[in-house]
Copies of this chain bind each other. A is one copy, B any other.
């Protein structure tokens, strides 16, 4: 088990569930739009938000953002130690730095001391593209170089009595990322922040993140995740949530399974399923339920035997089933509303 740290009130590591992070894409100096985006992120299911602090005008806005934010806020700082010090002073719930680009070791020490005083965690973020040369040239793989670099930074933090850490090792290469985290996971007990960096636009980025983050989580590696997309941060949270749902790592939700359709399917299953998908989107269920929608009797009740409730179709009729047994026959055009009725009944 990993050490437990807290970003605001959100626990990471220990027995805490895997949390979702994202990063605002607004200009940090625009307080209003940044707070608006934080609100939307929270609404979508985000647990922790990160904001970039690239300059003094971002710092100037930061205090109000932290005070009014509905999510714990992590300040993301590169190059300038003073921006980090100032962000901590203004109430950041955590900071993210790449210790390799923040300046001298002395500057790093002042950041560590200030974070210690305020009892806030620091993420050490090592990225494949910015590993120092001394590591790049002495390891057989870049994944090992990243781990080695992270372990040296960790030692420096520990030598300065700072254990309130989480670590990330990001690369745009899925296999390299997986390899790096797997290595590091065995070598330290700090919580791990997972992500595939520069994963790309929505579709590509979703696939890469789902493989990389998902396979690590499936092996119980990773305590908090951030999906990086060249898209809105709201979409990042949607993908992150879906990864956690797929692995049963995010509490109650309505899981919708549906068959791929084939020449056996006679109803327009895609639009039927999309209709149900829309109708269940807003529901916050008090328990986990699995709903199956199947295009034919072959794969219907049998294949979806562990669904709590389901709908299957023959050439002419719809059938509601429960636990693999047929409950009632119904006209296809009434099937969705009947299914929704029964779902709502189950959630009462």
Contact = CB atoms under 8 A, between A and B. Distances in A.
Interface of A: 23-29, 34, 51-52, 54, 58, 76, 78-79, 127-130, 172-175, 178, 197-201, 203-204, 206-208, 210-212, 214-215, 218, 228-231, 233, 236, 238-239, 242-243, 246-248, 256-265, 269-270, 273-274, 277, 292-294, 296, 298-299, 302-306, 324
A318 to B, nearest CB: 16
Contacts of A25: 260-263, 265
B247 A130 contact: no
Nearest to A78: B298
Instruction: Identify which of A261, A265, A324 gathers the most chain B CB atoms within 10 Å of its CB.
Output: A261
A39 to B, nearest CB: 17
A298 B256 CA distance: 41
B214 A258 contact: no
B214 A210 contact: yes
A292 B247 CA distance: 31
B258 A201 contact: yes
Contacts of A277: 201
Closest 5 CB pairs of A and B: A215-B215, A211-B214, A210-B210, A129-B303, A228-B260
A260 B236 contact: yes
Contacts of A58: 263
Given A52-B264, A199-B260, 13 more contacts: A25-B262, A130-B305, A175-B247, A197-B259, A198-B259, A201-B270, A203-B238, A203-B242, A207-B246, A211-B214, A228-B260, A230-B260, A231-B270
Given A25-B263, A78-B298, A306 B129 contact: yes
Contacts of A211: 210-211, 214-215, 218, 243, 246-247
B303 A264 contact: no
A247 B173 CA distance: 8
B303 A24 contact: no
Nearest to A22: B260
A175 B2 CA distance: 22
Contact of A214 (B214, B236, B262): B214
B303 A178 contact: no
Given A174-B247, A298-B79, A256 B215 contact: no
A204 B214 CA distance: 13
